[in-house]
């Protein structure tokens, strides 16, 4: 399981010209799922996201996490995070989990993150063609792969 986390001053998701999610300060999180992913990957990543100290304190130092900073989250499924570009110029998405595996894990990720933060997590729609708008703050962009815990 892989996430790309972007600290934003604003972000939104539009599907078929309808805005389905919108936040001001917080995190935009893109989530990629593979067949081998399990609940322990979700638990570990949600803990990381929740406690990642990437928001500035009163001295301008990144000391605050979502636990101590009043920020919101948009979670967007993105199978292209597991693209392989080893051969040729057309990315292969063979590693990305198929919907029958990915959707339950995606739903569990949303619930686990909501429970950890005790707030509603806004989302895109799994499998939809989405337009994601964001203003990256910093810029701060962090990539975390649950298979690289050590």
Is 79 an annotated catalytic residue? yes
Catalytic residue, from 24, 68, 80, 120: name it. Answer: 80
Beta-bridge mates of residue 14 = 19, 131
C-alpha closest to that of 74 among 17, 39, 35, 117: 117
Q: Is 78 a catalytic residue?
A: yes
Q: Where are the alpha helices (H) located in the chain, listed in sequence order?
A: 39-51, 99-117
Catalytic annotation, pick one of 6, 30, 55, 79: 79
101 token code pair: 């595996």
State whether residue 29 is helix, strand or coil: strand
Q: Among the options 6, 30, 55, 78, which is catalytic?
A: 78
- Rg of the chain (C-alpha set): 15
In 3D space, the residue among 33, 18, 6, 34 whose CA is nearest the CA of residue 110 turns out to be 33
**Rounded distance between C-alpha atoms, residue 34 and residue 44, angstroms:** 15
Hey, which residues are catalytic here?
Answer: 78-80
């Amino acid at each position: 399981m892989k996430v790309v986390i972007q600290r934003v001053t604003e972000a939104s998701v539009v599907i078929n010209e309808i805005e389905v999610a919108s936040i001001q300060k917080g995190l935009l999180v893109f989530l990629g799922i593979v067949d081998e992913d399990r609940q322990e990957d979700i638990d570990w990543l949600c803990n990381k996201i929740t406690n990642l100290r990437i928001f500035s304190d009163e001295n301008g130092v990144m000391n605050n996490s979502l636990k101590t900073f009043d920020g919101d989250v948009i979670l967007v499924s993105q199978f292209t995070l597991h693209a392989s570009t080893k051969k040729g110029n057309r990315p292969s998405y063979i590693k990305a989990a198929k919907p029958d595996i990915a959707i339950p894990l995606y739903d569990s990720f949303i619930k686990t993150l909501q429970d950890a933060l005790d707030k509603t997590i806004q989302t895109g729609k799994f499998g939809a063609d989405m337009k994601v708008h964001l203003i990256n703050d910093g810029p701060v962009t962090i990539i975390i792969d649950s298979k690289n815990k050590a």
